[in-house]
Amino acid sequence: MKHSIMINKELCISCSICVKDCPVSNIEIKDKKAQIISDSCLFCSHCKAICPKDAIEITGYSEDVEDIDKFLLNSSDLMKAIKTRRTIRNFKDEKISNEIIENIIEAGIYAPTARNNQDVSYVILDNKKDELESYAVNMFRKIIKFFKPFSKSLKRMEIDDKFFFKGAPIVIVIISPNKINGAIAAQNMAFMAESYDLGVLYSGLFSVAANKNKKIKRALELTGKNKVVTTLVIGYPAVKYHRIAYKEDAKVLRK
């Protein structure tokens, strides 16, 4: 959707805060009022968000921005949430409400993207989940038989019909031409899912299959440079972990 940016000169007080904050230096003060220099704007909304008089409007969005009621996350609680997060591979047969799914997607929408491209899209697998999983299962069964003789772990691996999605009720495929943009969105979404006591599995193998298998690509409507960045398998956990996982010490250089 096309956007345009406008400055209400009656409200503008020439404080220059927007000029200093614009990441592409696209605002200047002229005749004691802020004005946009060119159409080459990122539409990142920094100017809109920082203006103390709300003198800036950006058109073309379905909803207006919200005022910020500033709060700080409790660092101890946040660290505990990070440390106790585990990959879930056993899910209850329990549906997830549409409201929760919408909030998980919204968390992805508000992830930052390079140059504010907002080039991340989402496919929710619900009715077609089993069909697309079967395409990936058939593909991997054909591939793995050639490598089993060379790997002990592959010899033990059994690719059953629920190998990728583990019977979870919802799968969200994150698509973007930019891996970093998609990965940041996925992390936001995983945190939001876990806030609802949901478990999350990053199905990397399905993402590989989705980018290779023509039937899956067609079903996901992958076009141009768009790729499946990651796949979030989401559901209520059927298991409970009692301890935090071991982690190696961080490798940190300070110069």
Give pLDDT tens digits for 93-141. 999 999 999 999 999 999 999 999 999 999 999 889 999 999 999 999 9
Contacts with 232 (C-beta within 8 Å, 6 or more apart), sequence order:
171, 172, 173, 174, 186, 189, 190, 193, 200, 201, 202, 203
Please report which confidence band the pLDDT of residue 250 belongs to, taking 50, 70 and 90 as the band edges. Answer: very high
Tell how far CA 103 is from the center of its chain. 12
What local confidence, expressed as pLDDT, does residue 205 receive? 93
> Can you tell me whether residue 38 is helix, strand or coil?
coil
What local confidence, expressed as pLDDT, does residue 155 receive? 72
DSSP string, 129-168: HHHHHHHHHHHHHHHHHHHGGG-HHHHH----TTTTTTT-
Per DSSP, 237 falls in state: B
* Closest C-alpha among 205, 88, 202 to residue 144: 205
Instruction: Copy the structure tokens of residue 54.
Output: 């709300």
> Can you tell me whether residue 206 is helix, strand or coil?
helix
CB 206 within 8 A of CB 177: no
> Can you tell me whether residue 173 is helix, strand or coil?
strand
What local confidence, expressed as pLDDT, does residue 150 receive? 66
What local confidence, expressed as pLDDT, does residue 202 receive? 98
Mean pLDDT of 224-250: 97
Contacts with 147 (C-beta within 8 Å, 6 or more apart), sequence order:
154
pTM confidence score: 0.92
Domains of the chain by start residue, with CATH: 5-58 (3.30.70.20), 75-235 (3.40.109.10)
φ, ψ of residue 81 in degrees (nearest 5): -65, -40
C-alpha to C-alpha distance for 210 and 238, rounded to whole angstroms: 27
* Closest C-alpha among 136, 95, 92, 123 to residue 186: 123
For 141-190, write each residue's pLDDT tens digit: 988 877 777 677 677 878 999 999 999 999 999 999 999 999 999 999 99
For 38-89, write each residue's pLDDT tens digit: 988 999 999 999 999 999 999 999 888 889 887 888 999 999 999 999 999 9
Polymer length in residues for the chain: 255
Mean pLDDT of 7-29: 97
